[in-house]
Structures are given as C-alpha cells and as structure tokens.
Structure 1
Amino acid sequence: MPLKFINTTRSPFFATVRQRVDAYFKEKDLSTHANGAMWTKALFFLGGYLTLYGLLLSNQFGPWAMLALCVGLGAFAAFIGFNISHDALHGAFSSKGWINRLLGDTFYLLGANPYVWKITHNVVHHTYTNIPGHDEDIEIAPGLIRVDTDEPLRPWQRFQHYYAFPLYGLASLSWVFRKDYLKFFKAQIGQYDNSVHPRQQYIMLFASKAAYYFFFLVLPYWLLDITLGQLAIGFVVMHVVEGLIIGLVFQLAHVVEGTAFPVPTEGVGIQEAWAVHQLRTTANFAPRSAIAAFFCGGLNRQIEHHLFPKICHIHYPALTAIIRQTAQDFDLPYLENPSFFSALRSHYRLLKLLGRPSTTLAA
C-alpha cells in the first residue's frame, strides 16, 4: 500500500527552517551552488585520481609502491563520489543542468552507475529514510547484517558488530559487478516503479561497465609487468579501500544510537512530517572537523543534506547553526556525534544490540 507522511501535529518546522535558510542566502547574497572553494576541491580530487591512475600505468614502480597507489586510488574514488558526484547528481553543484550531468558522470570513475544511484538514493532513500522494507540503503547485507528488529534473528548475527566492517569493504566490488545490474532490472524499489527505463540507459549501463572493466582490468594487464594474481590483488585492494570509506560514511549517518527506524502505522503512514522524520532518522558526525568536511563532502552533516539536498555541501557549515537552533525551537532532536570515532563506536554498539533478541532492545 502507498506509504505517506501524515503531519498529524501540523508541525511548521520545515517551513520555518526553509524560510531561515533562504533568508541567510539572501542576506549574504550567496548562490546555493558551488563557489570557488568547491571548484578547487573538485579539481583537487579529480586531479589526484587521474595522477594516481597515470602513475599506476607508468610501470615505473615496484609491487609495494603499486599497492600503495591502489590504496590511494580507491580513497580518491570515494572522495570523488562524496565531493563531486553526489552534489552533481542532486543538482546541487551548479545552476546549469549540463554541468551537473557532466560532473555526475564522474560516478562512473567509481565503477558505479549514476542513473541507478539517482533512483535508489535521491528518490527512494531520501524519501523513505530508515524505513525497513522501503529504504534499501539500510539493507546492508540481507541475511548477514540485521538493522530491522522485525527481521528474524539468525544465530550468526550476534557477531555482526565484528564482521560488518569487513563486509563494508566488499560493497564497492558488489557495486561494480552485481548491485547496479540487480537494481536496474528490479521491477520495484521500495515504492518506486522501476520496471521501465529509457533505451539509452540500457546502453549506458552495459557500455560504461565494459569501459570500466577495460580501463581497470584489461589495460593494466596489457601495459604492466604484472601477473593476473597481482592484477587481482591490486583491483581488490583498491575497491576494498573505496568500499570501506563509502560504507562507513553512509552507515555513520543513519545506523547509530539514537536514530529511528520507523514502522508505518498499519503499513500505510508515518505519523509525522517528512522533515521531522529526517531529523529522527539522521545523525551528523564530526561537525566541527575541517578535515571531515573536506574529505566527506558534507556527508558528515547528513541532517543538512537530507533537509536541503539541492544546496551545495560547501554551505553546510553555515546551515548547521540555523537548523540546530530551529530544531531546538520546535523541541525536535538534532542528533550528532562529536567525532568520527565516537560515531564509529556508536555504530558498533548499535550493531551489537541489533544482533540480540528484540526483547533485549525493548529492555
């Protein structure tokens, strides 16, 4: 049945916070899109990625140096996803659609498909955040990791707080070889009818995957003095680094202590406004860290992102004070962990708790 957000309390929270945010940009005479600092970040991460890839193909380094370059390339791929692709695919990087589309295509550098991402993330995750059975972003590894208390508890899930982290490292490999295909051909994603796609997207799915396999598997084997085993190790290490960084950053925003996993009333409605739902299901981490802000592309401030996904993340630090104060004015939660490691510990504790019987959670 259709899932709707029913603002039973008639909360004016979102109207108020949007008015205050709009007033901030008007008073400061600022665009909500990228500024010079944002373009500098984009050039830094793109330049770093291309430099590392070029050094890998130069055949001028020994095995250990090559492995280190693979680690760096995996990290830069994740940072491109956070800092460039993510904003562009939300239409937040530029006021010009063609620039957003061009920069959104940097997602192919991760081995991922931007069209599929826009469906699963922009449409489904941002609408039905943390709702079991609707938000597939919290279905981390079905059958292995349990985040839904209504899901049957399996014996091995009592150890999920240990094995979840290595599994995150496999997320990027799954994306490259499995996830995009499965999501593309899945008839229904949450409430989204996914049964029909433009013909062009069928071509792009297979052509872009083939190009990625060529540039990261075939071409290196042709150009470098390496064995198939060394190629496989380098490729896997690159994606384990990429997957671990991406997996941790996204999980620390939604699967930590204090975030809610609401169950629709009678399978139909969520009894609160959509914006209030975002506050209850999302948490920030390291909000005062310039390092986290630079590398995570604003995803350490997920509250700001979920409420205003079309505003470039370079502006999130200024929005934080506005949104936190407005939440306080309406007696609403504003969840945050002071550092990356405190969020990591919170995620660990929640996974441990969710690996126990539901009666333990109720206590």
Structure 2
Amino acid sequence: MTTSLETSCPPSGPAGATGSDFARLSRRIVAAGLMKRRPGYYAVRLSAVSAAFAGGWAMFFVLGDSWWQPAVAVFLAFVYGQVALVTHDVAHMQVFRRRRPSAIGGRLFGNLGVGMSYGWWMDKHTRHHANPNHEELDPDVAPDILVWSSEQARAATGLPRFIGRYQAQLFFPLLTLEGFNLRVSSVRALRSPTMKHWGSEAALLLAHIVLYLSALFLVLSPGKALAFLLVHQAVFGVYLGCTFAPNHKGMPTLTGDARPDFLRRQVLTSRNVRGGALTDFLLGGLNYQIEHHLFPSMPTPHLRRAQKIVRAYCAEIGVPYHETGLIRSYAEALRHLRRVGEPLRGPRA
C-alpha cells in the first residue's frame, strides 16, 4: 500500500489553480452547514467524560485495598483515552470559538487530566497536520524507536536498528509503554525555550503526578499500587495507540521538497476506518481521518456526513480515497512496518 506521493499524486490542476480543488470542496462543506458549532453535543460529551472520570476514581476509593482494583484500572484506562480524545477536539477549536478557552480547556484535560503536556502535544500535532507523513517534517514519522521507511531503516543505529528488525511483532507490546512515554516527553518538553505558559503547564503536570501517585500509594498496598499503575498505564497506552495507529501508518509518504497541494497532501496520506456508531465512539471520530485532516475544526458529529461529500468529490476529481475496516487498517500498518524493516533483517528476511 505504501508508496511515494511523488509517484501516486495526480496533477493538481492548471497552473495558478493551486488549492482550487480544496476551495470548491470547502464551499460544498460550508453550504451543507457542516462547519457550524455543536455546543449541545460537546456539553453532553464533556459532561459524560467528566462523570466517567469522577465515577472511576470514586470506585477506586470505595473499593480500597482490593485485588479488584486492576478492573478499575482497565476502566480508567479507557476513560483516560476518552479524555485524550476530548483534549484533541478542544485543541482543534471544535469546542470553543476562541483560543484562550481552548488552551485553558486543553491544559485542564491534558496536563491535569491525563498527565500530557498540552503545549508539547499541540506543537507536535500542528506540525503533523501541516505535513502528514512527510519523513522530514512530520514528527509522527520521525525515526525514534520505530522506523517508518526503508531509508530510515538503513540509517538506523542502536536501539531503533535492533527493534526495527522485529517492529511489526513488537508494535502492540510497545504500545503498553506509550502512557509512560507521554509523561516523559511532556516533562522533557518543559525544558524547551519555546514552551509557552511554562508555569501553568508545569504546575498542572506536577499536580497530576502528585495526586495520581498519592491516591495509589495511600489507598493501596505497595504491591497493589504497582499492579494498578502498570495495568492502567499499559491499557491506556494500547488504547491510545490503537486509536491513532490506523490513521496514517502504511499510507504514502513524502520526502524532500515534494509538496502536493493541500487537498492531495491530506487525502493521499490518510486512511479512513469504516464502522458504525461504536467505531465512531471508540475512535472519537478519528476514523474519519481524511475529513478531519481537510477540516480540522469541524465538529466530530459532522464528520460522518462530510465523508459522503468528500468521498464523492475525490471520485469526481480523480483523487484516490482509501478506507478500510478496523482490523484491516491494523494489518496494513503492520505489513508496512515489516516491509520497511527488511533492510535490517538481511537478505534472508
């Protein structure tokens, strides 16, 4: 499935018409009323997520020092994932009209709620949206522990080189560490001179860590506290990773100066996941990744309706539009990880 956009991208129209394809699509979306705010929807969703968060911790305190606590940890891992998805919508200004309440909400849900630096994530996610799947510009496909292209694999050294050989098999096990990775990355980001609102970011992160660890080790015995922490963070990491992994992994990539127009850059690098209301709920609307990348501030409940317009328009102008089932999306991502790791396994792979 994975190719270079330089070879898969159809022409963007006559000279001087750059962006005109997107402009025509945008007019159709606006005319359908799909960019209008949905305050009622978000009032219900934020209230439900907040109630689930409070309810999960209430169960934790009611149960006390019990070996039933790992079940609460699993429930709270799912709730934390939902809080992270709400933070994502807040960051894209789907919830509030103005930047200030969006930033305040993002720091409360992100830093205080799940222990993830809103400022760090916003910087990373903004760069991803601007250049999805660009190997030099998208931080989500930068070689770190995993490699995302054969070129990255050939240049890999140390731990990425070792893990890259087996990264398809290790992908889901490695996701159990994603919750911990978010905290470590967030704390490291506080040292960056570009971090805005350093004081509030640091205070809310510290409050999250202190409250979280205090609750665990004051209510539970050390062994149960450690078990809760490991189960909670591992399941949270897997859920979060499974939410974001289908979106771009294994889709065409960009390198160097290759920059197709905005519509093609977003559509050709993104994958939609088919499903019903349950899929929409579990993935927080990110299963409509193509529509989300084209219209990041579109309220989540409008994405399903927007999909019909975007898919028909892409067929009209000859732009490939990729969607698949949830299981197949993971299979495509894993096949890609295995294929790009071939240079590290040698000629017998």
TM range (shorter): 0.7 to 0.9
Give the conservation status (yes or no) of the 8 Å contact 1:8–1:273. no
Amino acid at match of 2:229: F
Post-superposition shift, 1:282? 0.7
Partner of 2:164: 157
Q: Which amino acid aligns with 2:268?
A: R
C-alpha separation in 1, matches of 2:259 and 2:116: 35
Counterpart position of 2:194: 196
How many Å apart are 1:181 and its aligned residue? Answer: 2.9
**Aligned equivalents of 1:132, 1:229: Cα separation in 2:** 43
TM-score (norm 1): 0.83
Cα distance in 2 for partners of 1:358, 1:271 equals 29
- Asked if 1:242 corresponds to 2:236, the answer is yes
Decide whether the 8 Å contact of 1:8 with 1:272 is kept in 2.
no
Q: Give me the TM-score of the superposition, normalised by structure 2.
A: 0.86
Per-residue CA deviation, residues 22-51 of structure 1 (Å, 9 max, x unaligned), is: 1100xxxx6622243343222222211110
Query: Cα deviation per residue 1:342-363 (whole Å; 9 max; x = unaligned)?
Result: 1111112111111113999xxx
Unaligned runs of 5+ in 1: 1-5, 187-194
Determine if the alignment matches structure 1 residue 301 to structure 2 residue 288.
yes
Cα distance in structure 2, aligned partners of 1:46 and 1:120: 26
Report if the CA contact (8 A) 1:13-1:327 is conserved. Answer: no
Q: How does 1:132-171 map to 2 (within 5 A)?
A: 132-139=135-142, 142=144, 144-153=145-154, 154=161, 156-171=163-178
- Structure-2 separation of matches of 1:100 and 1:271: 30
Please give the alpha-carbon distance, in whole angstroms, between the structure 2 residues aligned to 1:197 and 1:244: 28
For residue 284 of structure 1, what is the amino acid of its counterpart?
N
Measured in 2, the distance between the counterparts of 1:19 and 1:323 equals 12
Count of aligned pairs: 325
Match of 1:180 in 2: 186
Q: Residue 145 of structure 1: CA displacement?
A: 1.6
Kindly provide the CA deviation profile for residues 87-146 of structure 1, in whole angstroms up to 9, marking residues without a partner as x. 11111113254543443221121110112111110x21100111112211123x71x421
CA contact (8 A) 1:160 1:351 kept: yes
- What amino acid sits opposite 1:85 in the alignment? T
Amino acid at match of 2:186: D
Over the aligned positions, Cα root-mean-square deviation in angstroms equals 2.4
Which 5+ residue runs of structure 2 have no aligned equivalent?
Answer: 1-10, 155-160
Contact 1:116 1:183 in 2 (8 A): yes
Aligned with 2:272: secondary structure?
A: strand
State how far apart, in whole Å, the 2-side matches of 1:74 and 1:302 are: 23
SS in structure 2 at match of 1:150: helix
1:150: Cα distance to partner? Answer: 1.3
Q: How does 1:345-356 map to 2 (within 5 A)?
A: 345-356=331-342
Q: Take 2:286 and 2:249, find their aligned partners in 1: how far apart are those partners?
A: 14
| Equivalent in the alignment of 2:110 | 107
- The answer on 1:272 being equivalent to 2:260 is yes
Matching residue of 1:70? 73
Q: 1:62 to 1:282 in 2, by over 3 A?
A: same
**2:148 aligned counterpart, secondary structure:** coil
Partner of 2:45: 41
Deviation at residue 60 of structure 1 after TM alignment? 4.3
- Out of 65, 79, 82, the residue aligned to residue 82 of structure 2 is 79
Q: Give the structure 2 partner of residue 56 of structure 1.
A: 60
Q: Which residue of 2 aligns with 1:230?
A: 224
Deviations 1:37-94 (A, max 9, x none): 343222222211110012112344621x211001110111101211x21111111113
Q: In 2, distance between residues paired with 1:130 and 1:21?
A: 25
Q: For the Cα contact (< 8 Å) 2:119–2:195, is it kept in 1?
A: no
| Alignment check: 8 A CA contact 1:173 1:236 kept | no
- Please name the residue that 1:260 is paired with: 252
Name the residue aligned to 2:214: 218
Query: How many Å separate the matches in 2 of 1:208 and 1:232?
Result: 23
Distance 1:66 1:290, change over 3 A: same
CA distance in structure 1 between the partners assigned to 2:187 and 2:133 by the alignment: 23
Query: Is the Cα–Cα contact under 8 Å of residues 172 and 240 in structure 1 kept in the other structure?
Result: yes
- Partner Cα distance (1:156, 1:86) in 2: 29
Partner residue in 2 for 1:344: 330
User: Distance in 2 between the 1:309 and 1:135 partners?
Assistant: 16
Asked if 2 retains the 8 angstrom alpha-carbon contact of 1:145 and 1:160, the reply is yes
